[in-house]
Amino acid sequence: MKMNFAGRELDMSRCHVMGILNVTPDSFSDGGQFNRPDAALARARQMVADGATFIDIGGESTRPGATPVSVQEELDRVCPVVEAAARELDAVISVDTSAPEVMAETAKLGAGLINDVRALQRDGAPEVAAQASIPVCIMHIQGEPDTMQDRPEYRNVRREVSAFLTERMRVAELAGIRPENILLDPGFGFGKSLEHNLQLLACLEQMHILGHPLLVGVSRKSMLGHITGRDVNERLPASVAAATIAAMKGASIIRVHDVRETVDAVRVVAAVKEAG
Ligand SMILES: Nc1nc2ncc(COP(=O)(O)OP(=O)(O)O)nc2c(=O)[nH]1
């Protein structure tokens, strides 16, 4: 299955690595490291050199308890980096935002993917994303980042996540977003307990029934800390293990902080699948 990201056509039957570039002061694992444009661009260059096909630029931390960011602040953070990265890098520039104004502006600056952890739920977001005419990743979230981890509950997490994504796809298509421009993401850690996250990863291959490429983001997340007891910056082995599982279960994009290691794991999975 091919997808066109602002002129760059990619085979989504392959697994691609998305490098995380948080231009924020407070992201849960790398906040403050890349929130100057020169440092951000250097990091993006390195991730592309390490094999990333996508660079996901975000100006707002979505971890529980993060300080909300004004639209203007988000624009000030991401636009210079998106513009420079889109101009210089041989990669698809994705923008991690829920703000329609940021979607519109960054699409004009060359972004090739809108990555919205709030599944286009902000007023105007579906229409603006349709107007941008670039693919959109619609992610499941239960509640809002500030309170989503207080007491997440599901009767059947896979069924309820699938139903939410199906409803958000309906809204997206009604707004004019073409079905071939939609990617889906179960939203690991966004209103889920450890058990919920594990069930979603265990049954990830069943989500292909929704008919769209899957994006998976588990890198360095607390689910891995709960399993291993490792601190946030000691979770590389666990992150690579989880990325490998997602790749084996058919994820099309894996969103990670540690690109080089994940690219190697994805290459091994691809080689084994090829031989099978
Ligand atoms: N599609 C998608 N986007 C995401 N954006 C942010 C985070 C949270 O991780 P990170 O960006 O490292 O942290 P923060 O939100 O604190 O910046 N996770 C996802 C995810 O799982 N899927």
pLDDT tens across 55-80, in order?
A: 999 999 998 878 889 999 999 999 99
**pLDDT class of 101 with cuts at 50, 70, 90:** very high
Q: Which domains does the chain have, with CATH numbers?
A: 1-273 (3.20.20.20)
Instruction: Give the pair of three-digit tokens for residue 171.
Output: 């809204």
Res 33: pLDDT? 79
| Catalytically annotated residue among 63, 192, 249, 255 | 255
User: Ligand 1, residues 17, 35, 61: which to mutate, most atoms within 8 A of Cβ?
Assistant: 61
27 or 40: whose pLDDT is higher?
Answer: 40
* Pick from 122, 145, 239: nearest CA to 192: 145
> Residue 34 pLDDT > 80, yes or no?
no
pLDDT tens across 244-268, in order?
A: 999 999 999 999 999 999 999 999 9
What are the strands, taking DSSP E only, across 8-53?
Answer: 8-11, 16-22
**What's the whole-number average pLDDT of the chain?**
96
Task: Based on the residue annotation, tell me whether 221 is a catalytic residue of this protein.
Answer: yes
Question: CA–CA separation, 10 vs 74, rounded Å?
Answer: 28
User: Ligand 1, residues 28, 118, 149, 222: which to mutate, most atoms within 8 A of Cβ?
Assistant: 28
Using a cut of 0.90, tell me whether the model's pTM lies above it: yes
In the chain, alpha helices (H): 37-49, 71-88, 100-108, 125-132, 157-174, 194-202, 222-228, 236-248, 259-275
Cβ–Cβ < 8 Å for 22, 30:
yes
Average pLDDT score over residue span 176-183: 98
Relative to the CA of 29, which ligand 1 atom is closest? 12
Q: What residues does 183 pair with on adjacent strands?
A: 137
> Residue 269 pLDDT > 80, yes or no?
yes
Instruction: Give the pair of three-digit tokens for residue 27.
Output: 């992201």
Backbone angles phi, psi at 183, to 5 degrees: -115, 155
Average pLDDT score over residue span 154-159: 97
